[in-house]
Structure 1
Amino acid sequence: MSSTTAGTRDSVDVAGTTRTFTTVGAGAAGALLLVFHGSRQTGEVHRKFTGGMFDALAESGRAVVAYLDGYRGNWNDARRESHFPARKAGTDDVGFARAVVDVLVAQGRVDPRRVFAAGYSNGGQMVIRLVHEAPGLLAGAAVIAATMPAPDNFLAADPSPTPLPLLVIHGMKDTIVSYDGGSFGWWQRKLFKVGGSNWSAFRTAEYFAARNGITAAPAVTRLPKTSAGDPTEVELTEYREDGRPPVALYTVHQGGHTVPGPTSAPAIVGRTSHHVNTAELLGTFFGLG
């Protein structure tokens, strides 16, 4: 279901460059969700791509939602082998995220201790960078259709790891960012200007669990189907341990390079699961409400 809520366009100066974003929700010193779109999108395009489902968090008063616009459709996500404009220009997207938070905090709309981020594809890679390079900025993160770059493909520093709740969502039939990891094929390298090796979605979740100090074995649950005619299935792998921020991996069997929810992405990127709603998963996992 598409949102009818009007967003507010705003801009901020980052190192002499004007950057733009759209916010939804009035806010009153509450939570903030930063949303990072995928390659060749904008914040508004991603908002439509996901059927406005993140807007529901703002409409219910659970969070202000900010859709950030990348530089010429991309984020400088710290993958060594990325070659799109944001990477080549050395765009300060970490500074951009901080600036958006500062603006909304100054307006009295959000609590700086309750800032969360969700990113899809290239946006998910950007969230991974924020987790490593902006300690203290985020209270939780969600990575959708993206995985950890292999060490030799990752430029972000992580001198003092800061544990935080982290959610990974990935389709097993993703033909753009493989669930199993590895290197990109020639067409991905040419079309999306990316390269290098990446870990699998499962290894990505394991990495963040270890980073959070979790040593307990994960619990695996197959979630019930809720949408007739939807051939996908969703499996939840949870890493939890007392006193440690949790990590959760939602594996979407038969799912493509998509964001699970009520609105189907174009068929060319694969199936969209309707058995779960990504915005609601985030709301529950991050304790928004």
Structure 2
Amino acid sequence: MNLLFARFRPRTTARGPLLGALALGLALTAGCAPPDEPRSLPTPAGSSPNAGHTAAAADTRERLRVDGGTREYLLHRPGADGGAPRPLVIAYHGRGSSAEGMREMTGLGTAAAARDMLIAYPEGLHSGWGAGAAATGRRPDPDADVRFTEALVEELVRTEGADPLRVYVVGFSNGGSMALRMAAQRPGLLAGAAAVAGQLPTGPAAVEPTGAVPVLMIHGAEDPVRPLAGLPSPGPAAAGEEPITPSMASRAGAEAFAAEGGARAPVERSEAGYDRTVWGPGDSRATVELLVVHGAGHTWPGSSVTPPAGFGRTSTSLDATGTILGFFAARRR
């Protein structure tokens, strides 16, 4: 299934009309937007998905030289610098979206302010991420985004007082798979990782965990784009697009992280609107959690941004943003 470039739009209220499309739609781990569509949209004033969201006022567009080129990211500073090192969250957008799209869909800036967290929203090349380990026509260097992330962390530790012992990654869809790749291949860099609607790649682009790291995976039970059971044999991509990367089932990915980290046997329990499976920490203290959200599609639970047609419903039973930041706040290297 090739999907599909669409725009998110905020839900309207009785008090006012739609203020405009907020961000780009999100696609498969290795899909991409049609070439005739714009790659990003301006963020309209006052069109935040979360009530009281004011993250944009504190955000700046930054550039970083990496591998002889320039990469960009959006940086959210939570407020006045008190001098103490701050936790850092790297937030990867989905394919076809943007840093602004990730900010608006998740509301991470607002939620992180109370925890005094820095949030960096990097921009992917061709509006996506090299989440798999294999080269493609558009991504001849499959490790470029790994090096970009490493350089970004180094830069923000040096210039913004980020705490190197409290660095976390999170992402949605293709960005979620990128977060899992960082957790798998650079566990020593991170204090935790989270993915919403992202899975570990398999096949020629396979990524396997190489060390202990706390991981939280959130996946919709009815995801029509990247199914909960994985996508072992995706169909061909459209002409000119990157090949669709096969991926393993979400539970299999969680089990791989748990096994590498020496976690305990899983404990399962049902909660209101979702099922939680926890592989408790062993000697490495690396907890792994999988939350399967009932009735949810290829969406960010708790977001008030309307997903594109074909992505399924957004659950309100779980606040993914708050859950993820709470998971991060309890952990450090």
- The bucket for the TM-score relative to the shorter chain is 0.7 to 0.9
Other-structure match for 1:235:
275
How far is 1:63 from its partner?
A: 1.0
Q: Does 1:49 align with 2:105?
A: yes
Q: 1:84, 1:273 → 2: CA distance?
A: 36
Letter in 1 for 2:110: A
The answer to whether the aligner puts 1:179 opposite 2:228 as a matched pair is yes
Contact 2:74 2:120 in 1 (8 A): yes
Deviates more, 1:67-76 or 1:233-242: 233-242
Kindly state the Cα deviation for residue 11 of structure 1 after the two structures are TM-superposed: 0.7
Tell me the CA shift for residue 91 of structure 1.
Answer: 6.3
On the 8 A contact 2:215/2:289 being kept in 1, the answer is yes
Q: Could you tell me which runs of 5 or more consecutive residues in structure 1 were left unpaired when the two chains were aligned.
A: 225-232
Give the structure 2 partner of residue 250 of structure 1: 291
Partner AA of 1:177 in structure 2: R
Residue 166 of structure 1 corresponds to: 215
Whether contact under 8 Å (1:145, 1:177) holds in the other structure is yes
Q: Hey, what's the Cα distance between the residues in 1 that align with 2:243 and 2:105?
A: 22
Aligned to 1:219: 267
Structure 1 residues 135 and 285, CA, compared in 2 at 3 Å: closer, same or farther?
closer
- For residues 161-198 of structure 1, give each alpha carbon's deviation from its aligned partner in whole angstroms, at most 9, with x where no partner exists: 220110001112111111111335437x3396333532
- Cα deviation for residue 108 of structure 1 reads 4.2
Check whether the contact 1:258–1:265 (CA below 8 A) recurs between aligned residues. no
* Cα 1:288–1:210 shift into 2, 3 Å: closer
Deviation digits for residues 71-112 of structure 1 (CA, Å, limit 9, x no counterpart): 1201111253x7473x24546111111121112111242101
In 2: Cα distance, 1:263 partner to 1:79 partner = 33
The answer on whether the counterparts of 1:77 and 1:122 sit within 8 Å (CA) in structure 2 is yes
The aligned amino acid for 2:278 is E
| Distance in 2 separating the partners of 1:263 and 1:176 | 20
Residue equivalent to 1:16: 68
- Equivalent position of 1:142 in the other structure: 194
Query: CA–CA distance in 2 between the matches of 1:10 and 1:108?
Result: 12
For the residues of structure 1 that align with 2:245 and 2:156, how far apart are their CA atoms?
Answer: 36
Shift of 1:262: 3.5
Name the SS of the counterpart of 1:283 in structure 2: helix
Give the corresponding residue for 2:54: 4
SS of the aligned residue for 1:186 comes to coil
Aligned amino acid, residue 256 of structure 1: G
Q: CA deviation at 1:16?
A: 1.1
For the pair 1:38 / 2:80, whether they are aligned, the reply is: no
Partner of 1:287: 329
Q: How does 1:46-195 map to 2 (within 5 A)?
A: 46-50=102-106, 53-80=107-134, 83=136, 85=138, 87-88=139-140, 90=142, 92-150=144-202, 152-156=203-207, 161-186=210-235, 189-190=237-238, 193-195=242-244
Corresponding residue pairs, total: 272
- Quick one: distance in 2 between partners of 1:141 and 1:205? 12
**CA apart distance, 1:274:** 1.2
2:41 is aligned to none
8 Å CA contact 2:157, 2:163 repeated in 1: yes
**Aligned residue in 2 for 1:228:** none
SS of corresponding position for 1:170? strand
1:260 equivalent among 301, 306, 316: 301
Q: Aligned AA for 2:301?
A: P
**Aligned 8 A contact 1:264 1:271 in 2:** no
Correspondence for 2:258 among 209, 229, 233: 209
Deviates more, 1:27-36 or 1:126-135: 126-135
| AA matched with 1:70 | G
**In structure 2, do the counterparts of structure 1 residues 153 and 265 end up closer, same or farther at CA, with 3 Å as the change threshold?**
farther
Is there any run of 5+ residues in structure 2 with no aligned partner, and where? 1-49
Task: Name the counterpart of 2:5.
Answer: none
Aligned-partner Cα distance in 1 for 2:153–2:295: 36
- Give 1:204 shift: 1.2
Q: State the superposition RMSD in angstroms.
A: 2.3
Shift of 1:139: 0.8
- Compute the TM-score of the two structures, normalised by the length of structure 2: 0.75
